[in-house]
Every structure is written in structure tokens, then in C-alpha cells.
Amino acid sequence: MKIRVLTGAGISAESGIPTFRGKDGLWNKYDPTELATPEAFQKDPKLVWEWYDWRRQLIAKAEPNEGHKVLAQMEENFPDFWLVTQNVDGLHQRAGSKKVIELHGNIWKVRCIGCGKEDYDYRAPLPEIPPECDSCGGLLRPGVVWFGESLPVDALQRAYELSEDADVFIVVGTSAQVYPAAELPFVAKRRGAKLIEVNPEETPVTPYADVSIRESASTGLRKVLELL
């Protein structure tokens, strides 16, 4: 059975990582155009890095929760399993998931805007802000996808292919507002997949879901594991 999962910020909520939308969402407090666009970084790299350094420190202190662990267990139980995530926190990998496609990059990656060198840098807090490239001295940027930027082509292509041949497509903890990620559940559904949603709130996906579990990720995914 080909199982595909799409996760969003909601699966890390129980690890204490704020989501972007909804009542305590980050975009209620911060303006994404000031912090999560190439123009914002160009205008004030120090401000953008202070925000990412704050998020990195938060994530460094967080632990994967039961929801992440159930998905790692699902990968063990089902040979043809893939996890596509919009999240950049790396908590899926820390929970043991290996077959992970990161559509929006990874907050632990840094990329030099001078020479293009990309590395993982797990220091939290960063010793200097904004950080500089150790090869060319250029300015480093977070290795994440900002609003207005295109997604990594290979990751997106792979995510579409996997969604097209899914038997079961599980959507967890995403408000399904941001494209192209939000299209994947519909790609799977159109191709005949069983669509399961786990989210305490309704989303644009809900009317199309064969099973809609109005629970948190950890509770809901345990139920899904029993269903499979």
C-alpha cells in the first residue's frame, strides 16, 4: 500500500513550536513581508537573522512529539511510505523519519549569497548575526523557501509524483493555504487515493477528505495508524 503524508506546522505545535496561522500564529504577531521574503532580507539581513535565530533556538530546545513518532513508526511498518513536509524544523528526522521530502527547505541549512555554498549549521544561538560564509566571507541566508521564491525543483517534482501514485494520502497539521504544497492532497484525491485529514480545525481539504479526524496530530495519527 502506497502511503504518502503531507505535514504542516500543526504537527510541531505539540512540541511547542508556534504555527503560522490560527489563534497564536506567528503571522498574527509578525509581518511575513518583513521577515520571510528576499526583499526583507535584502533590506535588513540582521533583522531577518534575529528572527530566524530566535526560531532556531526555540526548535533546538524542542523535542519531536508523539505525532512525529507515529509517522516514523508508519515508515517502519509500510515499505512504500513517503513523508512530504512544509516544515523546516527537522523534527521529523529527529523522530527517526528518513524518507522525508522538505518542500520549504530546512532552518538548519545556511546558504552563501556570494558563492552559493550550502551547509548545515546547528549553532543556536549563532555567534554572529548576520553570519558570514567561512569560504568567501559573503553573507549567509537561511536555507528556507521565502514567500515569492520557487520551491526546490527536485523536491517538488518528487512530491507530485508520489502524490499521483498514492493509495492513501494523509494530510496533517496544515491550513492548506500555501501553494503548491496545498495542491498535493487534491492531486492524490483526483488519482483515486483515500484522503485522510488530521487537524483540530476544518480546512479547504476537509470537504474532500474520506476521513476527517478533528484531533491534534498525536491523537489523530495514533487513530490513523490503527485504521491502516
Annotated catalytic sites, by residue?
104
Which of residues 92, 104, 141, 189 is near ligand APR by CB under 6 A? 104
Distance (Å, whole) CA 158 – CA 160: 5
Shortest Å distance, C-beta 115 to ligand APR: 26
Shortest Å distance, C-beta 204 to ligand APR: 10
Nearest residue to 71 (alpha-carbon basis) of 90, 98, 89: 98
Q: Is 20 in the site for ligand APR (CB under 6 A)?
A: yes
Distance (Å, whole) CA 54 – CA 68: 22
Sketch the per residue contact string, 135 through 174, with ligand APR: x for CB under 6 A, - otherwise: --------------------------------------xx
Q: Is 21 in the site for ligand APR (CB under 6 A)?
A: yes
Residues contacting 49, CB < 8 A, separation 6+: 126, 129, 130, 131, 142
Query: Cell for 150?
Result: 520557487
Q: Is 19 in the site for ligand APR (CB under 6 A)?
A: yes
Is the Cα torsion angle 110, 115, 117, 118 positive or negative in sign?
positive
Binding stretches for ligand APR (CB under 6 A): 8-11, 13-14, 19-22, 25, 86, 104, 173-175, 177-178, 199-201, 203, 216-217
